[in-house]
Structure 1
């Protein structure tokens, strides 16, 4: 037992405690919001119906799954962070086929959640819990694309190399788009662009790419998008055209945020406005209704602090691969945060993107912690390990410095 506590103590001395605490605080806030949503009279049927009560609070299946996902994610993050990220990225040839294989399985065995039109979920046999392979694909893509960018080196801006990078980036986008999951596809595009920009791809290539996208929009709309995907954008532009479904969601989400005013209505008074998927896509609105502007401000500040800390760790990485891994996770969190909050305040169409660490979603939460584990691995394995190494890094001209302790 003494060795176990000693190992735990050593880990917390080496790891980035600030990032870990921020992520735990975000999850704690998210679980509180999820507990609040489970008390709403509109959450008392189906998978959101109460299973039992604790201290007068209803506990439903989604709450239990989310707690399990957080605990599993924390354990996974700690394990991964103890492994050198170089060893993890060296296993890309195992990680990538598994992630792609699971995605392909959704085309044949995929299930929808009842609230979406995409077949993006696989049901785990025996326990009946859904798993979204596209979440694991994010981690696999960040790993493989980090290696690709690093190996490009001085040939990064060569036309042939750029074509190969674009093909690499569009593979996950295409796999997810075939499922009809617009939101996740958009997140992949953001990750791709952020990592390319950080790597040093020249601005003119981004301008050329943007021009091609603008030209292709009419063809994409006519021949690629399905009817339900077109409906999402049309309802976003004209919410009054669908007052009982997606239009209702965004109108009521905005109403909930406004009703909270500065300090919120409190736990007892919230939940009176009907809002489907309040525990997933619209958890930000729950924070606004319950805790007001101050509650949403705290939520945003927590996520901003996590993003800034990841950027700081990226700058500390010992090599470009470690830096790109951090940038990939930064882009993932940034994209999901921007899109989700945009959905809640009617700046984006409803495309099913969760708010990191806050929204209910076992797949999303557990795989986010896998990514955080990679970032922590970069932090731990980029730092000098011994006193002599630390002093040598600070005073490179001195060959030996005696430890005064």
Structure 2
């Protein structure tokens, strides 16, 4: 067996890089643990590891400007070391600045703006905004605003090659771009106002390149996907001729209102494979609601306050998505005992025509935050679905189902049962 210290430096450096990238992308790790001194404890393992690590530029390309750093002087030293050792690597910048904090550090990093690849902002000051608006970001690929913040005139970024955006929570209008305007492949925006002119501009400009789109509305946008100009005249996206020819993942979220499919219909989506729908406070099914035929759809997630709502639209969904392979049912609010059963009943055929069973190609059923009562026999879910292989539940569903006297362990002899909170 070969000792790890005998590995070529290039291979060891590549291993370090893979581990570091996984740590950066892990939701279970706080940014405190992502600070370079913590990860780079490997510098202390041996002189060989130390040399490999300090000469691996990608390990130093993560630059956090955060409130956790103990002192401004120590933060400056860490930053200068990272900027030096990262050489010409593209930089991943994280900004978490409380009021009156380390804007001077941001100024130093701004001198390397030509290397910025990603930008994640948790908290901004007025001075930080001023700094960001004065720099040119030619290679910025992704920007993410994690938390809500109030700005009078928004943030104007000069980033012509930006492709991925996660807009500020509740206020997408806070993000403005200089000419030439970027064309997005990934757009995630939250809206709390009816002024959607900027959002429509992004959608129109990026309609042939968007692959992932997530729209969140604090209020129900109307009977169609809403474009509500300042004049108040409501028009549908179809009027604008939007056609999302490359879109594969679409998520739409409403905080309240009746189930009406038409707000989702924002244009032609021939490559759509994954659809997620959130209705946090669901009132009822609109009589005019129709669901477009989507034979291309492979994955569907429905998040509602409880199963009674899903029961009302399940048959429409089954008819509209005949080739569905993965279904996720997510209960957004705790329910009174008995309501949970209404999630499963539309999937159990009972006396229905087995030949006409909906979702005959279903492979995976994912259940989140709901409980499965004893009388809902999950074996019947798979009885007329020959492709069915797996029930996946989160820990809440697992525990609640036990409380409802449903033994999910016993189902493992019929199909795979997984418990995961991923």
Give the structure-2-normalised TM-score: 0.23
- Point out the structure with the larger strand share: 2
Higher relative contact order (Cα pairs below 8 Å, separated by 6+ residues):
1
State which structure, 1 or 2, has the greater radius of gyration over its C-alpha atoms.
Answer: 2
- Point out the structure with the larger helix share: 1
Give the structure-1-normalised TM-score: 0.24
